[in-house]
């Protein structure tokens, strides 16, 4: 784990403990139980096979880039994504490092019919109940943040709550570690993400997805993340059999996020 990721994870554990004191787990479980049924994130991203599916990300800032978008309106951004070809949405909810908010998920879902992923650093079952209570349809589980037993426990809990889990890896070792668990306990609830960002240098290269492809037996559930900026990048991934991508920073930097998404997909007006 990189120093930055380690720091974020430590801060997140403290944050969860603080939140748990103000909102007990039993209250969050009750809210999760009362929440509307989740939208099918897995189906939105994997069907139809062989067709480009973009998970477009709502993100104001990041540790590596600082503030990415000053005029940040999560609902307007989500609406533009929906109108211009996104299959699903990813919403940053970490406040300290990404200036996100958990409330954005419910705000977005009120106006956009797409399923929404809670993008955060999940280190505790509390956060999964919290995500479901907030209206999330999917969660991110980062392999480098979790031990193997903890990953399995969180996958089981996510499945019980009918949440899709996007299991993200950054390197070969993490991919090998999680490979046998993706699809457990139910194959219709998990996606595998390869993040193209090098956690040591913070640089991105979509070639990283290509390098790890030989270790991925089922590319139908594979999502390439980070560093995707052009339709040429999309075509390069498609030629390798990768048709699912998560794109955030590139889109958020453009004046018109909807037009940028259309250009990325190859459907610019």
Domain ranges of the chain: 3-265
94-118 pLDDT per residue, tens? 999 999 999 999 999 999 999 999 9
- Report the alpha-carbon distance of residue 72 to residue 70 in Å, rounded: 5
Q: What per-residue confidence (pLDDT) applies to 1?
A: 63
pLDDT at 128: 98
- Cα separation, 268 vs 230, whole angstroms: 12
Rg, C-alpha atoms of the chain: 17
Distance (Å) of CA 160 to CA 33, 125, 164: 11, 12, 10
- Please tell me the CATH code under which domain 3-265 is placed: 3.20.20.70
Measured between alpha carbons, how far is 63 from 145 in angstroms, rounded to an integer? 16
Q: Coil, strand or helix: which one is 86?
A: coil
- Give percent above pLDDT 90 in the chain: 87
Least confidently predicted of 13-27, 88-102, 193-207, 223-237 = 193-207
Q: What is the model's pLDDT at position 267?
A: 58
- Average confidence (pLDDT) over 210-237: 94
**DSSP structure class, residue 66:** E
What's the mean per-residue pLDDT of the chain? 94
Per the DSSP assignment, residues forming a β-bridge with 117 are 90, 138
Q: DSSP character for 161?
A: T
């Amino acid at each position: 784990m990189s120093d930055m990721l380690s720091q974020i994870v430590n801060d997140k554990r403290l944050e969860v403990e603080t939140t748990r004191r103000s909102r007990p787990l039993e209250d969050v479980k009750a809210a999760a139980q009362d929440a509307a049924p989740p939208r099918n994130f897995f189906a939105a991203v994997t069907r139809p096979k062989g067709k480009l599916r973009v998970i477009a990300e709502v993100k104001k800032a990041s540790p590596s880039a600082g503030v990415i978008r000053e005029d940040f309106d999560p609902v307007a951004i989500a609406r533009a994504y929906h109108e211009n070809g996104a299959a699903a949405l990813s919403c940053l909810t970490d406040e300290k490092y990404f200036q996100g908010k958990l409330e954005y998920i419910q705000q977005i879902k009120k106006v956009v019919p797409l399923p929404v992923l809670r993008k955060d650093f999940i280190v505790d079952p509390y956060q999964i109940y919290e995500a479901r209570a907030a209206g999330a349809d999917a969660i991110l589980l980062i392999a480098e943040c979790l031990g193997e037993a903890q990953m399995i426990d969180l996958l089981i809990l996510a499945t019980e709550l009918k949440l899709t889990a996007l299991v993200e890896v950054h390197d070969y070792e993490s991919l090998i570690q999680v490979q046998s668990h993706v699809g457990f306990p139910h194959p219709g609830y998990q996606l595998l993400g390869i993040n193209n960002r090098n956690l040591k240098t913070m640089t991105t290269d979509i070639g990283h997805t290509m390098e790890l492809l030989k270790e991925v037996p089922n590319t139908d559930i594979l999502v390439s993340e980070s560093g995707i900026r052009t339709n040429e990048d999309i075509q390069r991934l498609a030629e390798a059999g990768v048709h699912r991508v998560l794109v955030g920073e590139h889109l958020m930097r453009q004046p018109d996020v909807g037009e940028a998404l259309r250009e990325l997909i190859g459907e610019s007006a």
